[in-house]
Amino acid sequence: MDEFMEKFKTQKYKGAFNEECWEKEFEKIPMFMKKAPSEIDPTKAPELACLQSILFDSEKPPEEQAKSYKNEGNEYFKEKAYKEAIVSYTEGIKKNCKDAELNAILYTNRAAAQFYLGNYRSALNDATAARKQKPDHLKAVIRGALCFLEIKNYSEAVKWCDDGLQISPTEKKLLETRAKADKLLRIAERDIRKKKQDEKKKQVEKESLLNAMKDRGIRIYQQFPSEAEEQEEVAAFSFDGVSAEVFLDENGHLNWPVLLFYPEHGQTDFISSFNEESRFIDHLNEMFGELPPWDTEQKYYAHHLEIYFEDEESQFYYQVNPETTLLKAMQHKRFRVKAGTPSFLIFVKKSPFCKDYFSKRKVCNLPSV
């Protein structure tokens, strides 16, 4: 020994710890490890592989093996390594031991790990499996109730809490969870009732609109002839980010979203609420009180304009008298409402563009609206 120690006066011990690497070296020793690796390579960590084989010796009874996996899973769980914990608990469950309480714990612990990963359905399945093993396993009941709360099945959350309170009437977590679930259940039921009332109200309004149109002889362009699609066609319209819909006002008049096209300039105007008893000229006077910036020739004065609508079926164009009301125009036998909104074309009277435009199209001059 003296000779062995004497030689270190002249040479260093190979592999000795030093100030720079001693912490890393300690991490390689199982006793001093702060965290076990998720996968153990026997060639790189023979000590760990040996310990693992001792812990999970296949010669041991299934109960002992399952308990070892449970303990390993618990260590992972403490470190918040939930995926690794799930693997360990799963291995313990696979042992199919006869200890119902141990199995219930394994399922409940796995449910907790799944829960913290946000896998609420899987967690609920495990909580249910735990209760099959041991119906009065309180932690499984609590975990299941919390899962139902997360997936917004409040009625089942209340039911599971009630089951748990029969086991332990003063359990604080169950009392808190039940109170929260009951409150959310009442809110959800209220929202469902309100939604049904709103849907019923909308249906009544749609039927009123359709009856009003039918009474006035207004026709809807139907690409598909079903009544449901017809209702959808006339219910609403959106233009350039602005949404509008036809509605009956307090005087029983229909108010329509109306599109005006200016083919010569590729421009459009959108009137979100055009009362059926209003005249076209009134809107034109208001819209062209000041000439629009795109009218560089300054010719779009209200009294210089002509109005037309197109009958897509016959491809004829019909002229509309500016002094007429929207209702009278829409009551024309060839007029159809398409895509939920009446549409009209505006031209400058006797302009070269207007003459050229209609020289290539069929115009029905008599009778005009």
**pLDDT tens digits, one per residue of 104-140:** 999 999 999 999 999 999 999 999 999 999 999 999 9
d(CA 295, CA 6) in angstroms, rounded, equals 107
d(CA 30, CA 44) in angstroms, rounded, equals 13
For 63-96, write each residue's pLDDT tens digit. 999 999 999 999 999 999 999 999 999 999 999 9
Task: Return the minimum-mean-pLDDT range out of 38-52, 130-144, 189-203, 297-311.
Answer: 38-52
**CA 201 → CA 193, 197, 250, distances in Å?**
12, 6, 16
Nearest Cα to 305, choosing from 256, 255, 269? 269
For 302-317, write each residue's pLDDT tens digit. 999 999 999 988 899 9
3-state helix, strand, coil split of the chain in percent (to 5) is 50, 15, 35
Q: Which domains does the chain have, with CATH numbers?
A: 56-184 (1.25.40.10), 231-364 (3.10.20.90)
d(CA 315, CA 305) in angstroms, rounded, equals 22
Which pTM value belongs to this model? 0.56
